[in-house]
């Protein structure tokens, strides 16, 4: 559909994972739904929570796959097929441990970078030509590659203020993508977000 955009936040369903680093994609689409006063409904045929709103003469769908992260493509593939959606109208928001906490990076396409959620989506939609918004969550101080416990832990106290600013900036970037296109959204928002106390110094 030419007048529809789909924005998918990746994460794991359930209260256990709700505020973990791995679920920052969920947190972003929840922030967008709050900003847009869009209500969530359970869509069993997509295995997802979906919120719908109208913006600038087009329909925008927000989605949270309920399949668990590594099977996210089941939801995204089903939705893109059902709505006959061009991949150019799909944006996926995902955590990225290879970016420092506070950095956001939107790209029009690219590799999965080893992220299993993105790998699943690429497999189910049959391509990589969709926008992906990477939200940096950083790594442990020792730099270990095995970071399962880290990504499945909640943000700690000092991080929560910065996370709020990340979600604010990333929400504005998504809106810019919808209204002005990906090139402007990339040039205007990609980069590091400084904590509020650093901005004031």
Catalytic residue numbers read 22
Alpha carbons 143 and 111: distance in angstroms, whole number: 22
Are 96 and 114 spatial neighbours (Cβ–Cβ below 8 Å)? no
With vertex at residue 110, the alpha carbon angle to CA 106 and CA 115, rounded to the nearest 5 degrees, is 90
SS (H, E, C) 128-140: CCCEEEEEECCCC
Alpha carbons 96 and 45: distance in angstroms, whole number: 29
User: How many residues does this entry show for the chain?
Assistant: 201
């Amino acid at each position: 559909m030419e007048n529809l955009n789909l924005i998918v936040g990746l994460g794991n369903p359930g209260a256990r994972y709700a505020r973990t680093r791995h679920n920052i994609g969920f947190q972003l689409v929840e922030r967008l739904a709050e900003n847009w006063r869009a209500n969530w409904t359970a869509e069993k045929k997509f295995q997802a929570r979906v919120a719908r709103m109208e913006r600038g003469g087009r329909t925008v769908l927000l989605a949270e796959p309920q399949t668990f992260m590594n099977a996210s493509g089941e939801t995204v593939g089903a939705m893109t097929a059902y709505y006959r959606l061009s991949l150019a109208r799909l944006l996926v928001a995902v955590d990225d441990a290879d970016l420092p906490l506070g950095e956001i990076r939107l790209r029009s396409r690219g590799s999965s970078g080893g992220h299993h959620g993105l790998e699943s989506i690429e497999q189910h939609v049959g391509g990589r030509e969709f926008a992906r918004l990477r939200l940096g969550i950083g790594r442990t101080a020792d730099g270990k590659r095995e970071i399962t416990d880290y990504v499945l832990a909640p943000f700690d106290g000092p991080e929560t203020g910065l996370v709020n600013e990340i979600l604010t900036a990333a929400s504005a970037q998504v809106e810019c993508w919808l209204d002005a296109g990906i090139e402007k959204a990339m040039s205007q928002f990609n980069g590091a977000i400084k904590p509020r106390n650093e901005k004031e110094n």
